[in-house]
Chains A and B, each alone.
Chain A
Amino acid sequence: MACGVPPAARAPAPDAQPAAKAPGEGQLSATAWLTRASLDLRGVRPSAAELAAVAADPDAAEALILGFVDDARFADRAAWSWNDRLHTALNFKSTTLRGYQELSDAQKEAAGFAPLAMVAWIVAEDQPVTALVTNTTLPLNDDLAAAFGLTAPGRGAEWVMSAHQDARPPAGLLASTSLWLVVDGDATNHNRRRANAVSTMFLCDDFLSREAAFDFDLSVEELAAMEEAVRTQPACLTCHAGLDPLAALFGGFAERSDQAELSRLTVYSPWRAEWAMGWRAPAYFGRPVGNLSELGATLAADPRFGRCAARTLAEGLIGEPLDDDELSPYHDALLNGGMSLRAVARAVVTSERYRRDDERALPIDALSSSLAQALGLSAEGETFLSLIWSLEHRRLGGGGDDHTAPDDVDEPGVGHALRDAWIARSVAELALTQDADRAPEERILWIAGAPYPTEEVAARQVLVRWRQRLLSEQLSQSDPGVDQLWALWSAAGGAADPEAAWTTCLEALLRHPMGRLY
């Protein structure tokens, strides 16, 4: 596959240079870098042993971080990162169309996550990212099958790559029912919305962000005249000459409906697809294409596709938009790495740009999984699922709903504090009692000896452990941060009511702002 040649002589942007072993000015320490990379790539904080190893030898950080890229958990993290581009995950819970009311929560979540499961599969199997638009199978699980009336693979919630069960052309996500339910169309706009979604999602080029874009809130009369204008007026042609021939490829997917049952919206109609191609000769920016499969192959060959894929992952890891120069080394890594997203991840997390000492808000899926791991609770438990899939909890934390307000707001605010208070109240007591019930050698929060210790030395040992597990700190027992918690422990009941005292301490740590920044 010809996907563009990286310019050999192009100098990488200064920040994209590999990070120096020792932190420079404005760079994270080796342990903070390790923590950031662990949360980004694995969704959990580094272990005590990993932190200790890097504290003892900062040069050990890079090898550990590169190993995180090959961790199985990176697949899910990359998938959630892609939701900032696709905005499908929460959509089925956010919209109120009649057809969606028939679905259970699990089915809505499966429908929303299905396109992201494709990303997860690509990362897990280290497939070329072009599979996003060329693969002949799509992820399916039993919940999604039940939602869309398909034959279930019979493996519960596990995603299985499955062939299409109707006549749609295989084309990776371009053939995804979920995607084209989220980005719906109607005959009035001739699927232009879907065409723009292709450009936005896979080329990082939103037609509506172009300077020539204008308000589409038009009267009926203006709308009637518009169809003529988009074919003839130069101001319109700048976008529509590319958009409309692309739109002609998506007629096989159902139109938007406030009335129809879901079963009528999930079917693909080859005839309608063909009929829509009669509206405009389908083409991809001047290259005729005959169906979705050809579109996928052409899209994958477009240099803009690889650049967009690299941008999506790199910006997801770095947490900020990148200009073209900043992106180039990560794009080069993709091209030189056989279109592997893992190659991009390696280039990003070892760059100076990534190691810049700026505070980032922890994405909600990483917050959920890291807390679950730190506390020894199941990430699939009700509390943490609420964090990921509950619109209310997401909104409290500034999260988008993938519908009316798709984008996350990363700036910490009052909502974050409320959400964190809810987390602390919900899980502190539960985590402590569950851990106390474990065999001593299996305990996570309590160290050897009886749970809920009241003797100061043992208590301080516990507090040191908690700060490590929840904040990735390595403190001595006499550190002021431990002193503060010890004072809180005493004030909250102390030896007279150790259960209340320890629960209060854990709640306080769970509400610590530094637990949300990394």
Chain B
Amino acid sequence: MRQILPLLLGLGCGRDDVAPPKDDVRDDSAPAEDCDGLTWSNDGLPEMLTWCASCHSSLIQPEDRAGAPIGVDLESVAGVRAHLDRVILRIEAGDMPPAGGVPEAKRARLLQWLNCGAPGDELVWPTTTPAEAPEESWDQEEAVVAGDEPDQVVIEAARLGWTDGLAFTEVWTVTPAEASLVSREVWDASGVWVSRISFEPPLTLWRADQTEWSIVVERLTEDVTGLTGAEEEWTVSLGPAVDVDPRSLEANPEAIIALSSAGELLELHLGGQGQLIRRVYSGPFAVEGEELDMTHLGNTELFTSAPFQLPVDLKWRAKVMVR
């Protein structure tokens, strides 16, 4: 076998520095009989799928390649042959896949197949249709805003698509200075009661005080409530405690979604015993007012302790639509 230098060739997840292909490094001394019967389907493809093709694929989006150089695609035998020498180099050098882990017997078998020139015919895969990123669906027609008292707003909205048409009613109190979420009651699509959560003290929004914090409380946007009016900025303080009905959502956790000015998406989920069961937030996300894109969900924390206590020092600024 020819001497292999530990070259930093640009093949693989996490590397963008593509070096030019080197000379033929195939093991030309491999006995021809060692190549008899070797095929792509049996000897090449299984290992390529297991260790390489999740990043090195022409079929996935560039952002899903985890840094694998564009054009170095190994999901087909043609692709492997196009980069054969480079593939052999990287596997022999032991730096692909990036964390190693290929059992020695499989690595040897794969190298044998590669050194034989990657023989075999392409496999015919079924036709598939890549999924498109979903869009949240809100039924504006179902939203009803009413209130028996001047300072109280009752929002009834069917948030279609969310857990198969979860419907909810929220009671807010609204004054010139602030708006507070008092309670939320939820039914499923068939009209079965799911949960009731009382916020004590109420989850309060108040007018922006020019702090750096911002928030989008999605339920209060025009899309959801059907409210029209001037756009105003509010700051929300998540109250020190929440009274959660013990029968409430485990299977369909409630979520409070907020977005900070630092670009963090905060999603708080309440569990069945009133505990905070998870908090999900992303890294740099979006500027204020942009539509939430759930595909950017990132960091996750898991909480299992009870009782649930929301952080008292969080302040957020909101854009809400008020009459």
Check B252 for interface membership: any CB of A closer than 8 A: yes
Contacting B at CB under 8 A, from A1-18, are 2-10
Q: How far is the CB of A166 from chain B (nearest CB, A)?
A: 10
Interchain CA distance A8-B194 in the complex, whole Å: 61
* A contact residues around B129 at 8 Å (CB): 290, 294
Known A-B contacts A5-B39, A285-B54; the reply to A234 vs B128 at CB < 8 A is no
**In the complex, how many angstroms separate the beta carbon of B86 from the nearest chain A beta carbon?**
18
**Which residues of chain B are within 8 angstroms of A187 by Cβ–Cβ distance?**
253, 269, 278, 280, 300
Q: With an 8 A cutoff between CB atoms, is B273 at the interface?
A: yes
**Contact between B269 and A241, CB atoms less than 8 A apart:** no
| Complex: A38 Cα to B238 Cα, angstroms | 69
A457 proximal to B (CB < 8 A)? no
CB neighbours of B101 from chain A (8 A): 210-212, 238
Q: Is the CB of B302 within 8 A of A287?
A: no
Given contacts A211-B100, A238-B101, A286-B54, contact A227 B131 (CB under 8 A): no
Contact A303 B54 (CB under 8 A): no
Q: Is the CB of A227 within 8 A of B294?
A: no
- Which residues between 222 and 256 of chain A lie within 8 Å of chain B, taking CB atoms? 223-225, 227-228, 231-238, 241-242, 245, 254-255
Closest B residue to A283 by beta carbon equals B60
Q: Decide: A235 and B99 in contact? CB cutoff 8 A.
A: yes
A238 touches B98 (CB 8 A): yes
Contact B128 A287 (CB under 8 A): yes
A71 to chain B, nearest CB (A): 32
Q: Is there an interface contact between A242 and B250, defined as CB atoms closer than 8 Å? A: no
Interface SS of chain B? loop
Would you list which residues of chain B between 1 and 33 have a CB under 8 Å from chain A? Answer: 13-14
When distances are taken between beta carbons in the complex, the residues of chain B under 8 Å from A277 are 131, 133-134
Q: Is B240 an interface residue (CB 8 A)?
A: no
Interface residues of B in 276-323 (CB under 8 A from A): 278, 280, 283, 293-295, 297-303
B263 at the interface (CB under 8 A from A): no
Whether A241 lies near B54 (C-beta < 8 A) is yes
Q: Give the interface segment out of A258-266, A368-376, A414-422, A458-466.
A: A258-266
Determine whether A139 belongs to the interface, using a CB cutoff of 8 Å to chain B: no
User: What number of A residues sit within 8 Å (CB to CB) of B?
Assistant: 73
| Interface flags, A298-309, vs B, CB<8A=1, else 0 | 101111100100
Whether the pair B56, A8 counts as a contact (CB closer than 8 A) is no
Report how far A181 CA is from B19 CA in the complex, Å. Answer: 48
Choose among B53, B61, B97, B109 the residue that contacts A238 (Cβ–Cβ < 8 A): B97
The reply to whether B161 and A303 form a contact with Cβ atoms under 8 Å apart is: no
9 residue pairs A–B, Cβ–Cβ below 8 Å: A205-B50, A220-B302, A223-B301, A225-B299, A245-B54, A271-B162, A281-B133, A290-B128, A303-B123
Which 6 A/B pairs are nearest by Cβ-Cβ distance?
A286-B57, A234-B98, A7-B37, A286-B53, A4-B41, A288-B130
**Which B residues have a C-beta under 8 Å from some C-beta of A?**
13-14, 36-39, 41-43, 45-46, 49-51, 53-57, 59-61, 64, 66, 75, 97-101, 103, 105, 109, 120-121, 123-126, 128-131, 133-134, 137, 161-164, 250-253, 269, 271-273, 278, 280, 283, 293-295, 297-303
